[in-house]
A = this chain, B = another copy of it.
Amino acid sequence: MTDLPSHDIELRVRYGETDRMGVVYHAEYLAWCEMGRTEYIRSLGMSYAEMERRGVPLAVAEATIRYHAPAKYDDLIRVSTVLSRQGSRTLTFDYVITHAESGQRLASASTTLVALDRDGKATTMPPDIRALLSRSVDR
């Protein structure tokens, strides 16, 4: 992920995101990844909400996540997002989730999203959206 432009967000762990093991429940990290890519897209000049209004929803087709260390209640978390691969119909985002203060790596993840048409079939993204996104991708 060295040369790609990344976008960082910070969030504070909510009480309800923890589980009885005393740490953040593993499924919550996927929501954090989504927050990361939402702000990544916004930083390019178009909100994901706007993409949906244009009729180009992106569905998650695949997600992989490795958990290195637990996030805890009230921790300040950083999510660094990069768009690592762009196809005509798919986008792959990579994420590094760290403890914002210590820099400790907590998780690394990757999600591949596919553009859908109104019938829910995979479709090619419109040229202007592809151009917008491609500004940030190493191809």
Contacts and interface: CB of A to CB of B under 8 A. Distances in A.
Interface of A: 12, 14-16, 18-23, 25-28, 30-31, 34-35, 38, 47-49, 57, 59-67, 70, 73-74, 120
Nearest to A39: B12
A81 to B, nearest CB: 15
A18 to B, nearest CB: 4
A19 B21 contact: no
B120 A70 contact: yes
Given A16-B27, A70-B120, A120-B70, A21 B59 contact: yes
A14 to B, nearest CB: 6
Contact of A59 (B65, B70, B73): B70
